[in-house]
Structure 1
Amino acid sequence: MAKVEEGIRDKLITALQPQYLQIENESDQHSGPPGRESHFKVTLVSGDFQSLMPVKRHQKIYALLADELAGPVHALALHLYTPDEWAARGEARPDSPQCSGSGQ
């Protein structure tokens, strides 16, 4: 696992003790040199989101990952659910759109 992704994972697990966490490095779907860690998609299910509206959930993650967002991470797609919301979705997260700058 790459360094930035590992740091993101550690911070999210420590702060939110997720029921489910998937971090996808989507950097290679965008233009730039291979092997970078600049674009991530995070799907996270946590009981900590129970009383939070979606914008507050996002703000919580942005605060946790402020160093990464100020540095190597250019884009962060967040899919944040309570356990009940996750179950209601059939435990499925949305696919990412194709990046127009990917050259594909």
Structure 2
Amino acid sequence: MRELLTAEFSPLQLDIVDESHKHAGHAGARDGRGHFRVRILAAAFAGLSPVKRHQRVYAALGAMMQTDIHALALETRTPDET
């Protein structure tokens, strides 16, 4: 996940927290996919709505969204929004 997001956005900050342990027994966790919280600070988000930013993150993660990630909480900001 870190490599894909770094390659796509060249972030100034990237924090990824695996919160899967908080969802033990949850239907989405049973198949091995995780729950993650991502904070990404990147100039690439400038001029984009929050929905477009999230769509870009989902696209960058590609197949991981189907194979490794069940839930993804996103905080996407530009350097001007810190």
User: For 1:40-84, what per-residue CA distance to the aligned partner results, in whole angstroms no more than 9, with x for missing partners?
Assistant: 000000000111111100000011112111112100000000011
1:20-99 equivalence runs, <5 A? 20-32=13-25, 38-86=34-82
Aligned length: 77
Percent pairwise identity: 42
The structure where helix makes up a greater share of residues is 2
User: For 1:12-53, what per-residue CA distance to the aligned partner results, in whole angstroms no more than 9, with x for missing partners?
Assistant: 0111000110000000011248xx650000000000011111
TM-score normalised to structure 2 length: 0.87
TM-score normalised to structure 1 length: 0.69
Say which structure, 1 or 2, has more relative contact order (CA 8 Å, 6+ apart): 2
Q: Distance in 2 between matches of 1:14 and 1:80?
A: 16
Indicate the structure (1 or 2) with the bigger Cα radius of gyration.
Answer: 1
Which blocks of at least 5 consecutive residues in structure 2 are unaligned?
none
Which blocks of at least 5 consecutive residues in structure 1 are unaligned?
1-7, 87-104
Q: Distance in 2 between matches of 1:19 and 1:72?
A: 25
The structure where strand makes up a greater share of residues is 2
* CA RMSD, Structure 1 to Structure 2 (Å): 1.4
